[in-house]
Chains A and B, each alone.
Chain A
Amino acid sequence: MTTPQTAHGGAYLQVRDLRVQFSTEDGVVRAVDGVSFSVDRGQTLGIVGESGSGKSVSSLAVLGLHDPKKSRISGEILVNGRNVVGLDDNELRKLRGRDVAMIFQDPLSSLHPYYTIGKQIVAAYRIHHPNASKSLARKHAIDMLGRVGIPQPAKRIDGYPHEFSGGMRQRAMIAMALVNDPDLLIADEPTTALDVTVQAQILDLIEDLQRDFNAAVILITHDLGVVSQIADDVLVMYAGRVAEYGSAEQVLRQAQHPYTWGLLASVPSLHGDADEDLKPIKGNPPSLINVPPGCAFHPRCRYAMLNGGPCDIEVPQLLPLLATHEPGHTVACHLPERQRKSIYEQDIAAVGVAI
């Protein structure tokens, strides 16, 4: 499969046919079911989807943070060419925080309430720099806090997480993630818990720092506005599988999958008619224990089986577009390409999407 933008063999992170399953009392949860993507240094990949679509599970797998006793992971996750699937915890530990760092959705619950911000950043630094003295680590931590835009970092470093505002807390979290100069930063809904004005600041910050550090970034979000702002590539996930994958331009401007259309149509527009109702995607995401047969999206899809297609029988493959000459744009849908194009032009492009 070709990958957009980063279409060369040496992307920093390459995920191939990743499957993550959890056995529970109710059955096997197929949280991620054959997902492939890649992202290189200096690039940003946006992973989009509803809750439970496997976005976070995929990224936690990159860090090896799933309990090996409860989960089964197969496929390949190549970090700088080295497969990390099945690596033992001691090896993974060297990778975590140093090569691959992660920031989480809610910075208040993601930082330990009993330790100062400084102590937590210093711990993150020293675990990968065991020879660094405490004072050097502290200096680094203050530097990082300053770089992420926390005023008076030398003073704030001794503050506890609850003494920071939401935005400042997320900045501190980012400082902690970047203190070891990682090559890949995974941001799992980094702005969801923040208010809108702060959201934009945090996104700008991530973009700036990505340039400075030349890191690869995976941005997990359900907010298409966020994706359009900073992503180079976009991966749309549904029920643990890839629905559509391509450059941001391709996925957001020439969306091909009915699920992506649904996501786009459910974004409120600033330019359209204010009285017009939003068009949510009807129904709920499926249970990952009982994924609908065929295309997992077909029970909610307005266009399912338009031509008596095999939507409810056969899982659609993720295939590159043929008619348009768009390298790297892949879609998993049974609708014929021409029909998708006409539907898009009639129904979707007309809705003034905000992005």
Chain B
Amino acid sequence: MLRFILKRSLIAILTLWAISSVTFFVFFALPANPAETMCGKNCDVRTIAAIQKNLGMDKPLPKQYLDYHAGLFVGRDFERQGREAQHCPAPCLAYSFRTNEPVTSIIGRAWPVTASIVVGGAVIWLTVGISLGMFSALRRGTVFDKTAIAFSLVGASMPIYVFAILLLATFVFGLHLLPYPHFVGLLEDPVGWVKALILPWFALAFIFAAQYARLSRSQMLETLSEDYIRTARAIGLSKRTVHLKHAFRAAITPIVTIAGIDIGGALGGAVITETIFGLQGMGWYAVRAIPNLNFPVIMATVLVAAFFLVAANVIVDCLYAVIDPRVKLN
């Protein structure tokens, strides 16, 4: 187990390195020049050159690449025109081109927002989606089952921004039940945290819940037709035991995999949900950084998203070995 985790972590680090290299070259080698964008309309060559120097973009590309990656592990110094060199301690993600704020502190501020949205949303989509799917499989062909299928069809086809706006119109502007979604720290005010984020949770969970309901239903139906379920019935176990201990256990395994990767992916930024509700999480920053050519922020959001996706994969693989005795970690 330990050897497997070590090996997978090593591969994970290599993957992250590859992703960061590709992202770096895609953006920094772009013909677009952020210095020009920042400089505005009335701009001369000297000002652009100065800005470029400030951003560290005057150096050759390979040097920039090495500096950036060295900064991640040991920190680096930024030369500033007319000022003292700024030291950026490891893990250094450089400074925002726009605000000159260290990117690490942007991430430090944005990530709790994203994590709050995703964790709350995941709890809802997993419980609603899986239980809906499992129960409709057990009640196949009934009104309940058909309603659940209809729900999941609507959920899977309704865009998140339509549903989010319906939620806002109903609960915030119509019934005045909830405040407009914003971010409240969980530790500062747990109740406020829930009230301020419950709409984004449902908006995010709706589409996922629909997918999970469909998936759980088909997994459960497949499992229920397995020979070992017939065996469990043939030895005299009750339906309840057969469904819970034998069928559910087997049907849930592939869902664990998909849930791990979905959650890992969303932790890198719930782009649409954050944008609709104006919540300043990872996705919100990423969307704003791209038109601004704010390369350090783009790099950082991509890296963080990749980190969670890769970590989720490692965790899912380890979990799999715990759930399914047939899987050997070697």
Contacts and interface: CB of A to CB of B under 8 A. Distances in A.
B236 A104 contact: no
A295 interface: no
Contacts of B189: none
Given A109-B228, A110-B227, A101 B235 contact: yes
Contact of B230 (A94, A101, A110, A123): A110
Contact of A124 (B236, B238, B250): B236
B234 interface: yes
Given A89-B239, A160-B325, A160-B326, A113 B234 contact: no
B234 A112 contact: no
Q: Is the interface of B mostly helix, strand, loop or mixed?
A: helix
Q: Among A98, A104, A106, which residue has the most Cβ atoms of chain B within 10 A?
A: A104
Contacts of B250: 112-114
4 nearest A-B pairs in the assembled complex, by CB-CB distance: A97-B236, A97-B235, A124-B235, A96-B236
Interface string B225-257: 011101111111111000000100110000000
A185 B260 CA distance: 45
Contacts of B230: 65, 104, 110
Given A113-B325, A114-B325, A160-B326, A127 B237 contact: yes
Interface residues of B, number: 20
Interface in B184-231: 226-228, 230-231
A140 interface: no
Contacts, number: 67
Interface of A: 63, 65, 89, 93-98, 101-102, 104, 106, 109-114, 116, 123-124, 127-128, 160, 162, 173, 176-177
A104 B235 contact: no
Contacts of A173: 231
Contacts of B233: 63, 65, 96
B237 A110 contact: no
Nearest to A63: B234
Q: Among B227, B234, B239, B249, which residue has the most Cβ atoms of chain A within 10 A?
A: B234
Contacts of B249: 114
Contacts of A128: 236
Nearest to A108: B227
Contacts of A93: 236-238
Given A94-B236, A113-B228, 15 more contacts: A65-B233, A65-B234, A93-B236, A96-B235, A97-B236, A102-B234, A110-B228, A112-B250, A114-B249, A114-B325, A123-B235, A128-B236, A160-B326, A173-B231, A177-B235
Contact of A109 (B226, B232, B236): B226
Given A112-B250, A114-B249, A127 B326 contact: no
A286 to B, nearest CB: 25
Nearest to A94: B236
Q: Among B228, B237, B249, which residue has the most Cβ atoms of chain A within 10 A?
A: B228
Contact of B232 (A63, A95, A112): A112
B236 A98 contact: yes
